[in-house]
Structure 1
Amino acid sequence: MPPNNRRRILLAGAAGAAAGLAPLRHASAQAPRFPSQQMTLIVASPPGGLMDNYARMLAEHFTARFGQTAVVENRPGAGGIVAIEALVKAPADGHTMLFGSTGMYFQARVLYRKLPYDLDRDIAPIAIFPTGPLALAATEKSGIRDYKGMIERARRERTLMGNYVKGSYQQILAENWNREHGCKFEMVNYKGEVPMWMDMATGQLDVSIGSYQAFAKVRDQGLRPIGVTGPVRSPRMPEVPTMIEQGFGGPISRLEATVVMIARSAVPAPLLDQLGKAAVESNDTARSRAMREAMGIPDGVMGREAALRLWREDGPVWIREVRALNLPVD
């Protein structure tokens, strides 16, 4: 090839390459940076409970991790409907997330005839925040000293049990005991865990189930721990046997209520993965370690893969068990 022709080809190729790179540089310059604004963590409960504590821990971590302020916005009420509706009305850009319970995501599909959103279509899981063993407690004046004693008392007389989400793990347990053992548990509903434990401390309830952290604040006000949920004892109350150790069995005994952070399903999957990884990174923060130690939670935050597995494997079990209880539908 003549030198002049070769030079013209090389110059043309270089010009073409430069022309091809220019749009890439332009596209890169225009690519949205995340996060580009304040991040909001909606919490489906009032301040003070486990869910709220997790959200505030993560807001602190996200603020440091992403360099944008993350704030907590408490939206309790209507069994989580208020909170989820606020989420699905927010832009699907990953800046808004929600902390809620498995009951809000699974049981609600059975308990409500019509919801202002589609739980299959509108939301996607990001990360799991374990609750650890939940405390089953009774008031001293009830005379209940253990799990079997609770069942025996509830067979004889009406026994008031606190609840803060319709179709919750607590309600599933109570309805199961009513059906299987002929008990007379009656649910008293609250807008969050903290007010439930406050009424336990003043003797307005007989038994309740909730996080160790919230229970510990009122434990010395006439309350007695009589069991814990799940297969292992609480590291904060190793002397208290699990309900399973005391004879509680069946499919429901293997389920564990947990807190799950979600976002709108329209948020791009890579961004959901990024948020899940950032949530898992919070396990290494001093605040997260101290919180898990104080609350008796042995496991750390689990990311998107675990959350998707929960959706796929445990979700159908929750739905089936709630449907089998034939609870009233709103």
Structure 2
Amino acid sequence: MKRLTTLLIGAALALGAQLSYAFPDKPIRLIVPYPPGTGTDTLARYTARQLEAKLGQPVIAENRPGASGIIATQAVVSAAPDGYTLLLAANAPVATNVAAFAKLPYDPLVDLAPVAVLAQAPMGFYVYQDSPYKTVADLVAAARKDPKKLNYGAGSATYQIASEWFLSLAQASANGISYKGAGPALNDLAGKQVDFVIAEYSGAQALVQAGKLRLLAVTTDKRLASAPDVPTLQELGYKDFFKVAWWAMFAPAKTPAPVVKALQDALLEIYADPKTQAFLAQSNFISFIGDAAALAKFQKKEIELEIATAQRANIPKQ
């Protein structure tokens, strides 16, 4: 599956100057850009528990939702570069926002220090359980017949660009409604406040299993083993459509290299552990491990891809 493979862990960062103090010697704040109940929050709280056990200091997950992850990212960018304030981010605040916002208050390639890339997950195309749209084709036909009648929910810029990209390929229109994360968007979909949502597969499964949402398609290039009867959007004729969510850890820029390396090494050990691999599989995540150097290269490529996608779909910046 494209990009749904483990990143090769590059050469370890040079240790450089030795720290003159023990790290960590006090609690670490792990800033989460989305509210509880999201895939990002699930991953962050698991990571916080494992880091706490590994490093011997409390690691406190702190939710700072809003503005497509900008609020949380600014909190980390403006924090002291000492390794005690970290960002566990999905695509939007560290990649997609560059393509989505005309005046982003930070540069994710300059103001953040990559630590490690951790996981990926496919996205799904969802409607509420008793929606009149039984297939993607049904929904597209309705959107073409009455442009701007339908509403979609977007939990971040990542999902907004994914939705608008799909609509451009379908030659259809719908009204986008922004939410503070995929969780609130999916909850409103279950409540019939919007007509469809493209969101991470892992975060939507509870509502699907509760009989509140239906999965019409997935955004990867192959069907999922956990949903073998659900087609890909590529199968349905949207041949270029491929989109996944991914998660990574960042620190403020100028965090000392030995601190970044200590955090990187701890995370790589945690995510290579069979216990974590089992957690990822059970939670519908996919292992996608890479060190700081691999993350830096991957992030840059993702930004370039998001910009190209937005331009190809004629999506204006906010």
What's the TM-score once normalised by structure 2's chain length?
0.85
Contact 1:213–1:294 (CA under 8 A) maintained in structure 2 = no
5+ long unaligned stretches in structure 2: 1-16
Kindly state the Cα deviation for residue 243 of structure 1 after the two structures are TM-superposed: 1.7
> For the structure 1 residues 126 and 146, does the alpha-carbon distance in structure 2 shift closer, same or farther, using more than 3 Å as the test?
farther
Q: Spell out, residue by residue over 1:129-180, the C-alpha distance to the aligned partner (whole angstroms, 9 max, x if none).
A: 3232222211243322333333223222322211111x31x22232223333
**287 and 208 in structure 1: CA distance in 2 versus 1, 3 angstrom threshold:** farther
2: CA distance, partners of 1:174 / 1:96: 32
1:163 aligns with 2:151: no
Which structure has the highest helix share of the two?
1
Residue 198 of structure 1 and its aligned partner are, at CA, apart by 1.3
Residues in 1 aligned to 2:181 and 2:79: alpha-carbon distance in whole angstroms: 23
Q: Aligned pair count? A: 299
1:258 aligned to which of 219, 223, 246: 246
Tell me if structure 2 keeps the 8 A contact 1:139–1:222.
yes
In structure 1, the gaps of 5 or more residues are 1-26
| SS of alignment partner, residue 173 of structure 1 | helix
Correspondence for 1:236: 226
Match of 1:248 in 2: 238
1:299 maps to amino acid: S
Structure 1 residue 194 corresponds to structure 2 residue 192: no
More strand by share: 2
Flag the structure with larger Rg: 1
Closer, same or farther: CA 159–198 of 1 in aligned 2, 3 Å: same
Partners of 2:221 and 2:264 in 1: CA distance: 26
Matches within 5 A, 1:1-330: 31-157=20-146, 158-165=149-156, 167-168=157-158, 170-219=159-208, 220-250=210-240, 253-285=241-273, 288-330=276-318
CA positional deviation for 1:54: 1.0
Q: Distance in 2 between matches of 1:100 and 1:290?
A: 21
CA change 1:149–1:319 in 2 (3 A) is same
Q: Which moved more, 1:113-122 or 1:184-193?
A: 113-122
- Listed one character per residue, the Cα deviations across residues 180-209 of structure 1 (whole Å, up to 9, x for unaligned) are 332122212111222212111111121112
Aligned residue type for 2:58: T
Q: Percent sequence identity over matched residues?
A: 28
**Residue type of the partner of 1:94?**
G
Distance in 2 (CA, whole Å) between partners of 1:298 and 1:59 is 18
1:202-221 alpha-carbon deviations (Å, 9 max, x no partner): 11121112233332222233
TM-score by length of 1: 0.82
Report the Cα distance in structure 1 between the residues aligned to 2:194 and 2:243, rounded to whole angstroms: 25
User: Using the alignment, how far apart are the partners of 1:281 and 1:213 within structure 2?
Assistant: 23
Q: For 1:136, what is the secondary structure of its paired residue?
A: strand
* Greater relative CO, 1 or 2 (CA 8 Å, sep 6+): 2
1:312 partner amino acid: K
